[in-house]
Amino acid sequence: MALAYCINCKKKQVIKEQRIIYAHNGQPMYQGKCYVCGIKIQSFLSVNDRILLKYNQTERLKQKEGEDENGTDI
């Protein structure tokens, strides 16, 4: 559950339908809609979320490499 400042509601709201995008400088961000009014909002990931994101990406790569070695990949 990520929070971002909504300019319509003028307070921090929960991001609905969140996804991760990357800013022009390469920093990861959450983007989605305000839970209350539905306007598009976005927020930079915290340091802890960035660590988890990097960990998950490396785990996926390890799994993919394991599939390639076993021959189960397409």
Domain residue extents for the chain: 3-70
Q: Kindly write down the DSSP assignment for every residue of 11-51, as one continuous string.
A: EEEEEEEEEEEE-TTS-EEEEEEETTT--EEEEEPPHHHHH
pLDDT of residue 71 exceeding 70: no
pLDDT on residue 36: 95
pLDDT of residue 12 exceeding 70: yes
**How confident is the prediction for the chain on average, in pLDDT?**
88
Query: Whole-prediction pTM value?
Result: 0.68
pLDDT on residue 56: 86
Tell me the pLDDT band of 4, cut-offs 50, 70 and 90: very high
